[in-house]
Amino acid sequence: MRTIGLMSGTSLDGVDAAWVETDGEAIARFGPTLTLPYDPALRRDLRRLLDLAQEQGADLPPDDPLLADCVARLTARHVEAVKAIGWQADLIGFHGQTILHRPRRPGSNHRPFTCQVGDAARLARETGLSVAHDFRSADVAAGGQGAPLVPIVHAVMARDLPKPLAVLNLGGVGNVTWIGADGELIAFDTGPANGPLDDWARRATGEPYDRDGRLALAGQPDGGVLARLIGHPYLAAPPPKSLDRLDFDRALKEAGAAALSPWDGAATLVAFCAVCVAAASRHFPAPPVQWLVAGGGRRNPAVMRALAAALTEPVRPVEVAGWNGDALEAQAFGVLAARVWRGLPLTFPGTTGAPEPLRGGRITGPLL
Ligand X SMILES: CC(=O)N[C@H]1[C@@H]2OC[C@@H](O2)[C@@H](O)[C@@H]1O[C@H](C)C(=O)O
Cα diameter, the chain: 58
Nearest approach in angstroms of CB 74 to ligand ATP is 12
Q: Which is nearer to ligand X, 188 or 264 (CB)?
A: 188
Output 105 or 214, the one with its CB closest to ligand ATP.
214
Buried/exposed 213-250: b ≥16 CB within 10 Å, e otherwise: bbbbbebebbeebbebbbebebbeeebbbbbbbbbbbe
DSSP one-letter code for 135 = -
Nearest to 190 by CA among 117, 266, 297, 55: 297
Residue 152 vs 225, nearer CB to ligand X:
152
What residues between 145 and 174 interact with ligand ATP by CB under 6 A?
A: 169, 171-173
Q: Contact with ligand ATP (CB under 6 A): which of 210, 222, 244, 247?
A: 210
Is 219 assigned to a binding site?
no
Residues with Cβ within 8 Å of 284's Cβ and at least 6 positions away in sequence, in order, are: 164, 166, 178, 186
Residue 98 touches ligand X, criterion: CB under 6 A: yes
CB of 324 to ligand X, least distance (A): 15
Question: Could you say which of 20, 124, 132, 150 contacts ligand X (CB under 6 A)?
Answer: 150
When asked if residue 211 is in the footprint of ligand ATP (CB under 6 A), the reply is: yes
Amino acid at 171: G
Q: Which DSSP letter does residue 57 get? A: G
- Contacted by 210, from ligand X, ligand ATP, none: CB < 5 to 8 Å by type: ligand ATP
- Amino acid, res. 214: R
| Amino acid identity at 339 | R
In whole angstroms, how large is the CA radius of gyration of the chain? 19
Q: What is the SS3 assignment for 297?
A: helix
Check the annotation: does 16 bind a ligand. yes
| Residue 101 binds: one of ligand ATP, ligand X, none (C-beta under 5 to 8 A by kind) | ligand X
Among 138, 173, 252, 354, binds ligand X (CB under 6 A): 173
Is 129 annotated in a binding site? The answer is no
148 interacts with ligand X by CB under 6 A: yes
Pick between residue 260 and residue 293 the one whose CB is nearest to ligand X: 293
Helix (H), strand (E) at residue 34: strand 27-37
Cβ 176 to ligand X, closest distance in Å?
10
> What distance in Å separates the CA atoms of residue 3 and residue 20, rounded to the nearest whole number?
5
Look up residue 238 and give its DSSP letter.
P
| Residues whose CB is less than 8 angstroms from the CB of residue 231 and which lie 6 or more positions away in sequence, other chains included | none
Report which residue's Cβ sits closest to ligand X.
Answer: 148
Contact between 297 and ligand ATP per CB under 6 A:
yes
Q: Which amino acid is it at 315?
A: V
Determine the 3-state secondary structure of 209 from DSSP. Answer: coil
Amino acid making up residue 282: R
Stretch that binds ligand X, among 65-73, 76-84, 142-150, 202-210 (CB under 6 A): 142-150
Concatenated DSSP letters for 186-199? EEEEEEE-HHHHHH
Site for ligand ATP contains 11 (CB under 6 A): yes
143 is in an annotated binding site: no
The annotation status of 213 as a binding-site residue, yes or no, is no
Of the candidates 60, 79, 149, 155, which one interacts with ligand X according to CB under 6 A? Answer: 149
296 belongs to the binding site for ligand ATP (CB under 6 A):
yes
The amino acid sitting at 17 is: A
DSSP β-bridge partners for residue 35: 16
Number of residues counted as binding ligand ATP (CB under 6 A):
23
Q: What phi, psi does 110 have (nearest 5°)?
A: -70, 160
* 10 belongs to the binding site for ligand ATP (CB under 6 A): yes
Q: Residue 75 touches which of ligand ATP, ligand X, none (CB < 5 to 8 A by kind)?
A: none
Annotated binding-site residues for ATP read 9-16
Contact residues for ligand X, defined by CB under 6 A: 9-10, 98, 101, 114, 147-150, 171-173, 175, 189, 242, 329
What are the residues binding ligand ATP (CB under 6 A)? Answer: 7, 9-11, 13, 169, 171-173, 194, 197-198, 209-213, 295-297, 299-300, 329
